[in-house]
């Protein structure tokens, strides 16, 4: 919810869908995938600390799917553990960010993530071939 608040604070105009746990995240992605590739998200912001299915399990499932693996995954978590960082990159996360505890710093970090991933980089066009 704090990420959603930060998006609203910066008036980001893009759909933001939030899954409450790892199982729901995968179900959402599978549902969007069945509807058609053009319905898939352009970016996934993933917490490692999810109930029912961990963020690492979600990341592994995303990156092992021939269509979903093209979606950049930003790990946004409280962890600073080197083993979490290494595992995330081993599973092909596109970046790993440790959440700042201060909300103002968090808002600024979200702004940086938004600017980089939605304005600076060129993301895959899901409307193209699978």
pTM for the whole structure: 0.83
Q: Work out the mean pLDDT of the chain and round it to a whole number.
A: 85
Q: What is the DSSP letter of 43?
A: -
What does the block give as tokens for 72?
């950049």
User: Residues 113-130: pLDDT tens digits?
Assistant: 888 988 888 877 665 544
Residues 92, 69 contacting (CB under 8 angstroms): yes
What gap in Å lies between CA 63 and CA 47, rounded to an integer? Answer: 15
Q: Note the pLDDT tens digit of each residue in 74-98.
A: 999 999 999 999 999 999 999 999 9
């Amino acid at each position: 919810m704090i990420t959603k608040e930060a998006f609203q604070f910066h008036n980001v105009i893009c759909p933001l869908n939030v899954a409450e746990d790892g199982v729901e995240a995968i179900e959402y992605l599978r549902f969007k995938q069945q509807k058609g590739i053009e319905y898939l998200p352009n970016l996934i912001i993933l917490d490692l600390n999810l109930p029912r299915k961990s963020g690492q399990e979600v990341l592994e499932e995303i990156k092992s799917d021939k269509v979903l693996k093209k979606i950049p995954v930003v790990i946004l978590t409280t962890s600073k553990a080197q083993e979490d960082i290494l595992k995330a990159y081993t599973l092909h996360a596109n970046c790993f960010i440790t959440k700042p505890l201060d909300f103002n710093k968090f808002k600024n970090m979200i702004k940086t993530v938004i600017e980089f991933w939605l304005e600076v980089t060129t993301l895959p066009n899901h409307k193209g071939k699978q």
